[in-house]
């Protein structure tokens, strides 16, 4: 792209030079000078400003080959706009466009989460050490997924990227949207790696993450951060490979990454008449 742009600029500058109104000493160098003046950029708080072109308008008053020099300066302004406005906007649009990846299943008990994640990671070219910021799945007692979505961040000091990943049970596809967040991604460096979370979820199986009594539906949520929890009234378990063991009160506080499971009954109309409730009736935390 840069080579093509350079060739186009050279052709345009030669064309402008050939259209000069009159002979002038070192006009070729002056044409180039006016171009760079028009293209000169000054950044204020990372906002690019066409300072060179403003100086051209306010200070420079050519008396010979006026049209030629004006054209050169305006070409510089066009170059400024291309580099700082048009190209970044096109690049952002292309980068953030939604992309789809086919899922293995629409049933929570049958999904191979690690395999799905690797497909997404490879097709979208996400860093293999990307951090999982949030995960949430709503599903029925038979495992049928109603809604599933999660967010991951590829952490970098300069080019961190935030990925919004939504699963559609209707199309059996994940839709991925990306957004560059730069240095803000550093704050997620302590979050668990997405690959580790999905490895744990596959090994233990969501079917085995259950409550003492069955419910019509479930919500499984994961917040990504390492926590310490000393609440003795909230039931807790620890995941050890394929085993799930209870955490007793004398083992508190519990530390680790926590998967929160909520059981829900049948939806019912709110007494106020404003919508339907499907509230959590029982919950449990699973640590790993």
Type and span of the H or E element at 139:
strand 131-140
Does the pLDDT at position 203 exceed 60? yes
* Spatial distance between the Cα atoms of 224 and 10, rounded to a whole number of angstroms: 52
> pLDDT (tens digit, 9 = 90+) per residue, 27-61?
999 999 999 999 999 998 889 999 999 999 999 98
pLDDT of the residue at 90 = 87
> pLDDT (tens digit, 9 = 90+) per residue, 208-251?
999 989 999 999 999 999 999 999 889 999 999 999 999 999 99
The dihedral formed by the CA atoms of 28, 34, 35 and 41, expressed in degrees to the nearest 10 = 150
pLDDT of the residue at 242 = 93
Answer yes or no: are the C-beta atoms of 104 and 116 closer than 8 Å: yes
* Spatial distance between the Cα atoms of 108 and 7, rounded to a whole number of angstroms: 55
pLDDT of the residue at 159 = 87
* Spatial distance between the Cα atoms of 232 and 207, rounded to a whole number of angstroms: 25
Contacts for 33 with CB less than 8 Å, ≥ 6 apart: 72
* Spatial distance between the Cα atoms of 65 and 20, rounded to a whole number of angstroms: 6
Q: Crossing angle of helices 51-58/27-39, nearest 10°?
A: 120
* Spatial distance between the Cα atoms of 107 and 172, rounded to a whole number of angstroms: 10
Mean pLDDT of 104-118: 95
Give the residue among 123, 135, 133, 137 at the shortest CA–CA distance from 162. 133
Mean pLDDT of 6-14: 92
Does the pLDDT at position 270 exceed 60? no
Compute the mean pLDDT over every residue in the chain, rounded to the nearest whole number: 92
Sign (positive or negative) of CA dihedral 132, 138, 141, 144: negative
Cα 135 to its chain centre, rounded Å, is 14
Rounded percentage of the chain residues whose pLDDT exceeds 70: 95
Does the pLDDT at position 269 exceed 60? no
pLDDT class of 288 with cuts at 50, 70, 90:
very high
Mean pLDDT of 104-116: 95
């Amino acid at each position: 792209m840069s080579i093509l742009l350079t060739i186009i600029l050279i052709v345009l500058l030669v064309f402008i030079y050939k259209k000069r109104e009159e002979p002038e000493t070192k006009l070729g160098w002056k044409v180039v000078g006016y171009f760079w003046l028009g293209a000169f950029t000054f950044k204020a708080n990372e906002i690019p400003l066409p300072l060179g072109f403003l100086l051209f308008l306010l200070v420079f008053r050519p008396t010979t080959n006026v049209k030629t020099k004006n054209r050169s300066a305006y070409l510089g302004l066009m170059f400024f706009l291309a580099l700082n406005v048009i190209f970044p906007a096109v690049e952002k649009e292309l980068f953030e466009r939604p992309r789809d990846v086919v899922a293995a299943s629409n049933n929570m008990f049958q999904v191979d989460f690690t395999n799905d994640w690797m497909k997404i990671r490879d097709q979208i070219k996400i860093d293999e050490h990307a951090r999982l910021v949030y995960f949430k799945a709503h599903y029925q007692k038979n495992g049928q997924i109603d809604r599933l979505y999660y967010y991951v961040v590829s952490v970098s000091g300069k080019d961190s990227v935030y990925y919004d990943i939504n699963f559609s049970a209707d199309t059996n596809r994940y839709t991925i949207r990306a957004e560059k967040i730069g240095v803000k991604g550093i704050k997620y460096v302590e979050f668990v790696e997405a690959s580790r979370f999905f490895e744990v979820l596959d090994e233990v199986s969501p079917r085995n993450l259950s409550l003492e009594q069955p419910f019509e539906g479930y919500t499984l949520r994961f917040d990504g951060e390492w926590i310490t929890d000393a609440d003795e009234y909230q039931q807790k378990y620890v995941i050890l490979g394929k085993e799930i063991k209870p955490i007793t009160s004398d083992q508190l506080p519990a530390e680790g990454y926590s998967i929160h499971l909520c059981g829900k009954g049948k939806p019912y109309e709110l007494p106020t008449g404003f919508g339907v409730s499907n509230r959590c009736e029982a919950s449990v935390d699973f640590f790993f």
